[in-house]
A and B are shown apart, each in its own frame.
Chain A
Amino acid sequence: MGFVAAGYLLTWAVLIGYGWRIMKRIRDATRALGGDPGTLAGEDK
Chain B
Amino acid sequence: MKSLKNGIGWLGWMSLTLVAAGTVTALWIVPPDGVMGDVQRLMYVHVPTAWLAMLAFFIVFLMSVLYLVQRKPRWDHVAVSAAEIGVVFTALTLALGSLWGRPTWGVWWTWDPRLTTTAIMLAMYVGYLAVRGFAEEPERRARWAAVVGIVGFVNVPIVYLSVVWWRTLHQPPSSPRSMAPEFMWTLLVNLLGFTVLFAYLMHRRVHLSQLEEQLERRGPGHIAHTAAGAL
Interface residues of A (CB under 8 A from B): 1, 3-4, 6-8, 10-12, 14-15, 18-19, 22-26, 28-33, 39-45
Beyond contacts A10-B96, A18-B201, A30-B211: 19 other A-B pairs, Cβ-Cβ < 8 A, are A3-B42, A4-B42, A6-B99, A10-B95, A14-B91, A15-B88, A25-B230, A26-B208, A28-B229, A29-B208, A29-B211, A29-B215, A29-B226, A32-B225, A32-B229, A40-B5, A42-B210, A42-B211, A43-B207
Contact between chains at A43 and B103 (CB < 8 Å): no
How many residues of chain B get a CB closer than 8 Å to chain A's CBs? 43
Contacts of B74 in A (CB 8 A): none
Dominant secondary structure at the B interface: helix
Interface of chain B residues 189 through 231 with chain A (CB within 8 A): 197, 201, 204-205, 207-208, 210-212, 214-215, 218, 222-223, 225-226, 229-230
B29 surroundings in chain A (CB, below 8 A): none
- What 3 pairs across the A-B complex have the smallest Cβ distances? A29-B211, A44-B1, A32-B226
B27 adjacent to A22 (CB under 8 Å): no
Whether B139 is near chain A, meaning CB under 8 Å from some CB there, is: no
CB-defined contacts of A31 to chain B, threshold 8 Å: 226, 229
Known: A8-B27, A8-B45. A32 touches B96 (CB 8 A): no
CA distance A30 to B99 in the complex (A): 39
B-to-A contact residues, CB < 8 Å? 1-2, 4-5, 8, 19, 23, 27, 38-39, 41-42, 45-46, 49, 85, 88, 91-92, 95-96, 99-100, 102-103, 197, 201, 204-205, 207-208, 210-212, 214-215, 218, 222-223, 225-226, 229-230
